[in-house]
Amino acid sequence: MSESPARAVRLKDLPTWFGLAVLKGCGRIAWPLQKRFGAMVGWLAFHSMSARRRAARTNIDLCFPEMDAASRARLVRDSFRDLGIGLFEFARAWWGDAERFRRDVHIEGLEILEGIRAEGRGVLLVSGHFMTLEMCGRLLCDHVPLAGMYRPYRNPLMERAVMEGRMRYATRMFGNDETRAAIRHLKQGGFLWYAPDQDMRGKDTVFVPFFGVPAATITATHQFARLSGCAVVPFFHRREGDRYVLRIGEALADFPTQDATQDTARVNAAIESMVREAPSQYLWIHRRFKRQPDGASRYTS
């Protein structure tokens, strides 16, 4: 006798429901425990995720050739520790309490955003894929109305849960297929957070340097600025001990130009500066240099 379709769907969704329950619980435990458990998760990931470990090692070898081998190996290990802690930071940002961090957060450059807002222009806050991005985004939302762009989850249950978590603090979330709506938001003077530092494999990509290595990079930052007239503002963020440091940079001058490649290279340079401030908190497991102009890959597998 076969199961009913409804029962089959419920059984299929049980792992997701269980995973979400665990994540929500992880988001609500005390911060010292989150750091301790996160470091343990990072240690397990370092030893079990061999392909991702090799990717992180390749990335760090390419990006920091000036470091000696021992320092690069230590950075790989530290990046996995911060990856594990970052998973708890994500959960806390979506479902937990941020009050203790609000009391000690350090924010620089809010006056830059206020000045641009007074001009009636939208702001595209450009950052990178750091493990602190969700918590720092939540903390920034205490001061400015911030929307975000993201890649939707394929699992509808996960998508709904994460959206509910993000909408506790963001004004709106735009999927990466909602560029027209995002441009309208910017034209109307809205603030939009965006991270263009991964290989999106779209048609509007160019090869520009990232740490001196050619990296396939989406030109969307140039296009957003060209079509909306918004200011493009670097958004630096990192964790220092038990507090978060957020820094709003000056808007990129004379941006955009007529040259999308040149503009995209400037964006990569800004993100590179962010990474150098907090290298272990960057998402090094992404194979950033997989596509190369000559068709070769920088990765062995």
pLDDT in tens, 141-165: 999 999 999 888 888 888 998 899 9
Q: How far apart are CA 13 and CA 215, in angstroms?
A: 37
pLDDT at 84 (0 to 100): 98
Band the pLDDT of 256: cuts 50, 70, 90: very high
Q: What is the DSSP letter of 281?
A: G
Mean pLDDT, rounded, for 64-75: 98
Does the structure show a pLDDT above 70 at 224? yes
Q: Which residue has the tokens 């990079």?
A: 217
pTM (2 d.p.): 0.92
- Which tens digits make up the pLDDT trace of 227-253? 999 999 999 999 999 999 999 999 999
Mean of pLDDT over the chain: 93
Output b/e per residue, 204-232; b: 16+ Cβ within 10 A.
ebbbbebbeebbbbbbbbbbbbbbbebbb
Instruction: With H, G, I as helix, E, B as strand and everything else as coil, classify residue 162.
Output: helix
Does the structure show a pLDDT above 70 at 79? yes
Band the pLDDT of 9: cuts 50, 70, 90: low
Would you give the distance in Å from CA 165 to the centre of its chain? Answer: 16
pLDDT at 16 (0 to 100): 86
Band the pLDDT of 13: cuts 50, 70, 90: confident
Band the pLDDT of 1: cuts 50, 70, 90: very low
pLDDT at 295 (0 to 100): 85
Does the structure show a pLDDT above 60 at 5? no
